[in-house]
Structure 1
Amino acid sequence: MSEVLKFLQDNKVFYLATVGDDNQAHVRPLGFVMEYKGKLAFCTSNQKDMYKQMEKNPKVEITCIDDKYNTLRLSGKFISCTNKESQQKALDIMPMLSNMYSVDDGKFEIFALDNAKAYCMDMTGHKKELTV
């Protein structure tokens, strides 16, 4: 997992895809990731369509590209891991989140990917499976 976590942290912005009620794929940028209880964890608001889409269809995919055009693809199933501990850890890691969220505010959600699989592919097409 450390290689995947480092890739996402080093490249700052990555993109999460969900499927909406219209059966259309929807992609949006994320910029927060942490390790929580052995899983990659992310945050969002439960007021956003993204969160509602993940609750209805938990299959998601994240992609990220580095400055050498290596591409990371990470897929898994959304699982909520929101609690005071996970929220506080996120705020400790990225204090600017406190501009939008606080512990137990009723909207701050922490989620992880269950059964996650990750692959990194370079420009030549060489594909490497990473441990998540």
Structure 2
Amino acid sequence: MQEIIQFLNEAKVFYLATAEGDQPRVRPMGFVMEYEGKLCFCTNNKKEMYKQMKANPKIEISACGNEGKTLRIAGSVAFNTSREAKVKALEVNPHLKTMYSPDDGIFEVFYFIQGTAVFGDMKGGKKEVKL
């Protein structure tokens, strides 16, 4: 788990894909944390991304690192609606406080309930990690 979080944090920006019907939708992301042993991210429940994940919880994340290294994470997500998860996210990334609060009714934390992370390189090497 820590290897995944470190890779995403070092990449700074990674991309999360959802589906809207038969159309993929991709957007940049920048927040990741571990909470209760789960790989967690956050969003706003007014965004299309939230609606897409509620309709179809299968997502994929892609990131590029240094020296041609890559990371892809595919699986299904669920939402942690606890105040504690939101507080932890705001502690991990205080900049989020400029947009959200634990009780604002829009801040959402989501996490992989199952999935696979694949570390790769441009030479075709890969290492899989089950979530």
TM-score range, shorter chain: over 0.9
Identical columns (%): 50
Q: What secondary structure, in the 3-state scheme, does the structure 2 residue paired with 1:18 have?
A: strand
CA-CA distance at 1:82 after TM superposition: 2.1
Cα contact 1:4–1:130 (8 A) shared by 2: no
Residue 60 (1) aligns with residue 50 (2): no
**Counterpart in the other structure of 1:115:** 114
**Counterpart in the other structure of 1:106:** 105
TM-score (norm 2): 0.96
**Counterpart in the other structure of 1:72:** 71
**Counterpart in the other structure of 2:47:** 48
Give the AA of the match of 2:17. A
Give the AA of the match of 2:12. K
Cα contact 2:33–2:89 (8 A) shared by 1: yes
Structure 2, gaps ≥5 residues long: none
CA RMSD after TM alignment: 1.0
Residue 13 (1) aligns with residue 13 (2): yes
**Counterpart in the other structure of 1:94:** 93
TM-score (norm 1): 0.95
How many residue pairs were aligned?
Answer: 131
Give the AA of the match of 2:119. C
Q: What secondary structure, in the 3-state scheme, does the structure 2 residue paired with 1:68 have?
A: helix
